[in-house]
Amino acid sequence: MATAWRFGDNIDTDLIIAARYLNTSEPKALAARLFEDADADFTKKAQKGDFVVALNNFGCGSSREHAPVAIKAFGIAGVIAKSYARIFYRNAFNTGLRIYEVAQADRIENGDQIEVDNAAGEIKNLTKNETYKFNPIPPFMQELIDAGGLMEHAKKEIAALG
């Protein structure tokens, strides 16, 4: 069981991690400033294993990988949204961040207790006693997540070659 932290539409990469902190690519330093301009207390309230929930076009704006890196480094288990900006979608997989496309993401409120069942393709909202289906993750993208991201996947592929 995890807590849902709800945001709205068009949460851009500057709201995920403000540009003024991009003088580092150190994941822990980025995680310490996660969502600072959207919710100044986010890092005090959220815990490892929680989920970020948003509506449409999550991760729009700049194409920087810092945004999914910061989310993953904080320990967020995944992002649930109705839709994602295309480049954020790809960057999430490249960095090994789990994301879920859920048409009913608007049914999940801030503070709801949820469980994600990857095998069943379901999110259970324990607070509302509701279940939502999510679009399955394509097999190759699932391989990237399982490996920890594109670079880790490539290292494993190279090591397998001998």
Q: How sure is the predictor about 153, in pLDDT bands with cuts at 50, 70 and 90?
A: confident
Flag whether pLDDT at 73 surpasses 90. yes
* Burial (CB count within 10 angstroms: exposed 0-12, middle 13-18, buried 19+), residue 124: middle
Flag whether pLDDT at 160 surpasses 90. no
What's the angle, vertex CA 23, arms to CA 14 and CA 4, rounded to 5? Answer: 40
Q: What are the E-state strand segments in 27-143?
A: 51-53, 78-81, 99-101, 113-117, 122-125, 130-133
Token pair 């992002």 is found at 79
How confident is the model over 34-63, as a mean pLDDT?
96
Q: How sure is the predictor about 63, in pLDDT bands with cuts at 50, 70 and 90?
A: confident
- Assess contact for 46 and 93: CB atoms under 8 A: no
List CB contacts of 130: < 8 A, sequence separation 6 or more: 104, 107, 124
- Assess contact for 77 and 116: CB atoms under 8 A: yes
How confident is the model over 57-71, as a mean pLDDT?
94
pLDDT in tens, 35-46: 999 999 999 999
Decide: pTM greater than 0.85.
Answer: yes
Packing angle of the helix pair 86-95, 66-74 (nearest 10 deg) = 50
pLDDT in tens, 93-152: 999 999 999 999 999 999 999 999 988 999 999 999 999 999 888 888 888 898 988 888
Is 3.20.19.10 the CATH classification of the domain at 2-136?
yes
pLDDT in tens, 77-95: 999 999 999 999 999 999 9
